[in-house]
Amino acid sequence: MHLWLTLMLSFSLLPSLAYAEEASFSLTVDNDSPAIGQTFQVTVTGDRLTDMYGYEINLTFDTSQLRYVKAETKVPGFSVPLEPKGGDLVFAHTKVGKVAGESGKVILATITFEATGTSTEPAAVALTEVELVKSDLTATNHVTNAKLSVTPVAKKPAVVFTDLDGHWAKQEIERAAGLGFVNGYPDGTFRPQNAVTRAEFIAMIARAMELPPSGVAATDFADQEAIPDWAKPSIAEAQAAGVITGYEDGTFRPHSLINRTEMVAMVVRALDLTLDEGAQPSFADTDSIGAWAQPYVAAAAEAGLVNGRGNNQFVPAANTTRAEAVVLILRMLALASD
């Protein structure tokens, strides 16, 4: 047993049990493609543990792409995280006092790294050895082959459009472009006041919400052939998720400009917000909002997703601009993450 771990354990009053079966260990990562400068966490888990009172874990990591930040555990007791030497990292922990050891499946440590560089090969993190100490101070060493790899990626350059100076939604549009759910035009413009088609809006939602693949290449809309190829996967995903239903005649009308009522209904469905069928929004022009849509608009307004345009007018039949669509989808993402 390592001297410092022995000293840690010598301060404890230790009951005695034995390990019933061979323990196993695994590594998991919460982000295997971190951007340069971004932190991520590697979790070390032990399974089939019996009366684990203290432990030491030994890891190696690629110092050319990763920097160690910290190691911690929620197991009661106190820890000794040692500064890594090169790419070797040691973390030790012991319980304190006359308490039972840990048994079963236990998260031993959560280790935070920062991505610092890129390479042609992924950065490896490996758990090489674990020492377990039971309550009678007997120790067992476990050599493991648990490992994982992460691939740091260079930060995307900031997205700058040439036609957004002074626009009310400039920051939101640039953020949305950085997130990857909207694009500009080849000439470097975004054209924020352009109207949005139904196909374009659904493509934005599908990318932003990362809707699961529908497993089918086509929808069952009567105008399926009119849907552009680039939009077919997104529309199929949205239909499968219940975000869109189409019109009474069975069409989707992908090239029609989306109005504010349709946009709100799609977002409310995407978020699966609870509808009060008798609810009415408090806009000055509520009477001009279709009866079917009033619960959707009321739910969206209550959630802070939509505002009126002027004089508290919702303007339900007005077409949605690219800027408005971006802002609404960002609000949708913020609400979904709460």
Q: Is 9 helix (H, G, I), strand (E, B) or coil?
A: helix
- The three-point CA angle 203-300-247 to 5° equals 50
Q: How confident is the model at residue 12 (pLDDT cuts 50, 70, 90)?
A: very low
- Indicate the DSSP class of residue 197: B
Secondary structure string (H, E, C) spanning 223-262: CHHHCCHHHHHHHHHHHHCCCCCCCCCCCCCCCCECEHHH
Q: Is the pLDDT of residue 17 over 80?
A: no
Mean pLDDT of 216-230: 85
Q: Is the pLDDT of residue 16 over 80?
A: no
Listed in order, the ranges of the chain carrying CATH 2.60.40.680 are 3-150
pLDDT of residue 18: 40
Residue 3 or residue 152, greater confidence? 152
Mean pLDDT of 199-210: 92
108 membership: H or E segment, kind and range: strand 102-115
Instruction: Give me the CATH topology for the region 3-150.
Output: Immunoglobulin-like (2.60.40)
pTM of the model: 0.56
Which percentage of the chain shows pLDDT scores above 90?
73
| Mean pLDDT, the chain, whole residue set | 89
First to last CA, the chain: 46
